[in-house]
């Protein structure tokens, strides 16, 4: 009897320790499915197998669909665990959620997880577009007396409408705004970190409190390099963290800033990955190199999302071997109750 009591005490203490190790969502009103998915990501750190979720970005705006993921499945026998889409409509210099949402809802119903980003147009640009504009003062986004603020709020409302449609469909979204904010190539990038944090926090409060989007998990994704943790808005505003990285060489000599981001108390992933760099990849990368490098130098990785076109899992070599790796979790490995296939 004493031995049995000791066993029950051990199990109770273990359960308590595991519960305390799991952080609550940034949004205290996050819905039950969002909470369960976040807990799943948190649990992957201690898993021995199926601990790194595979992912594939589909495309942006009107080009978003599941065709690329279908191609991957036909080549490898696996569906990626995570599908990505973006609300940017590059041809119009604006945003659209129609095709991205349809792809996201379909994949969710099939048992996959969903991440959405937005290559935002510049609200300081009266002509629309302006993704790569320079010299934007982020303070004007938050100045209620400015025309930039009015355009910014309209942009947020457009995004929120799309995310609301996903909420209505039951989809939990890994929402990844302002990606690569530590670089200078997008209008929101390479700004004063404290001002940037205010803009992030403003979006967070607007979406969570005003719009009541309780289906979002917030993803912080700087580009690998310098200042990777400098723009982090705080534990109460972020659920997952990661790095965007475009390189053949998955090691700390070529991917910088991992240690700073991995120290943040959130699950870590490669929020974008592409071999050969960010320009015109040839599409002949050996994807076994990716998982080998991750396991050697980036041990906290629990998910990744490959970019589309010739960076993708469909256009390079040995992707079946990557997705067959026992460390990888594909769509079939996700517990059904976490997605649209569960009740």
Strand-pair category, 94-95 with 88-89: antiparallel
Q: Compute the distance between CA of residue 256 and CA of residue 328 in angstroms, rounded to an integer.
A: 23
Specify the DSSP class assigned to residue 315: S
Q: Which of 119, 116, 65 is nearest to 92 (CA)?
A: 119
Q: DSSP assignment of 73-88, as one string?
A: HHHHS---SEEEEE-E
Q: DSSP assignment of 126-184, as one string?
A: TTS--TT-S---GGGGG-TTSHHHHHHHHHHHHHHHHHHHHHHTT--EEEE-STTTTSS
Q: Which of 300, 317, 304 is nearest to 245 (CA)?
A: 304
* Angle CA 57–218–71, to nearest 5: 15
As given in the structure block, the two tokens for residue 158 are 């457009």
Q: DSSP assignment of 187-225, as one string?
A: TTSS--HHHHHHHHHHHHHIIIIIS--TTEEEEE-PBSS
CB 106 within 8 A of CB 112: no
Q: Which of 114, 97, 103 is nearest to 156 (CA)?
A: 97
Question: Three-state secondary structure along 259-276?
Answer: HHHHCCCCCEEEEEEECC
Strand-pair category, 216-220 with 52-53: unpaired
Q: Which residues are catalytic?
A: 180, 272
Burial of 279 (0-12, 13-18, 19+ CB in 10 A): exposed
């Amino acid at each position: 009897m004493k031995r049995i009591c000791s066993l029950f005490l051990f199990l109770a203490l273990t359960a308590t320790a595991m519960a305390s190790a799991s952080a609550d969502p940034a949004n205290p009103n996050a819905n039950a499915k969002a909470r369960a998915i976040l807990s799943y990501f948190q649990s992957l750190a201690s898993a021995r197998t199926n601990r790194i979720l595979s992912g594939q970005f589909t495309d942006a705006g009107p080009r978003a669909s599941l065709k690329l993921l279908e191609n991957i499945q036909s080549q490898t026998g696996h569906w990626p665990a995570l599908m990505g889409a973006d609300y940017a409509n590059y041809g119009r210099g604006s945003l659209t959620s129609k095709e991205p949402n349809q792809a996201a809802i379909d994949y969710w119903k099939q048992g996959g997880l969903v991440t959405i980003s937005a290559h935002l147009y510049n609200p300081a640009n009266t002509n629309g577009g302006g993704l790569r504009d320079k010299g934007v003062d982020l303070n004007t986004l938050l100045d209620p007396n400015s025309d930039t603020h009015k355009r910014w709020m309209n942009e947020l409302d457009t995004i929120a409408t799309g995310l609301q449609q996903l909420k209505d469909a039951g989809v939990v979204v890994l929402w990844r705004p302002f990606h690569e904010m530590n670089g200078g190539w997008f209008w929101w990038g390479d700004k004063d970190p404290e001002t940037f944090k205010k803009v992030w926090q403003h979006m967070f409060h607007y979406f969570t409190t005003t719009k009541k989007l309780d289906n979002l998990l917030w993803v912080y994704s700087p580009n690998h390099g310098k200042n990777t943790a400098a723009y982090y808005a705080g534990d109460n505003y972020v659920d997952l963290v990661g790095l965007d990285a475009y390189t053949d060489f998955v090691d700390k000599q070529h991917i910088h800033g991992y240690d700073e981001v991995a120290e943040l108390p959130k699950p870590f992933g490669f929020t974008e990955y592409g071999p050969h760099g960010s320009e015109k990849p040839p599409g002949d990368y050996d994807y076994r190199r990716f998982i080998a490098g991750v396991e050697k130098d980036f041990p906290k990785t629990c998910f990744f999302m490959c970019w589309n076109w010739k960076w993708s899992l469909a256009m390079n070599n040995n992707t079946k071997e990557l997705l067959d790796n026992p460390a990888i979790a594909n769509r079939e490995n996700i517990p059904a109750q976490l997605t649209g296939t569960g009740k």
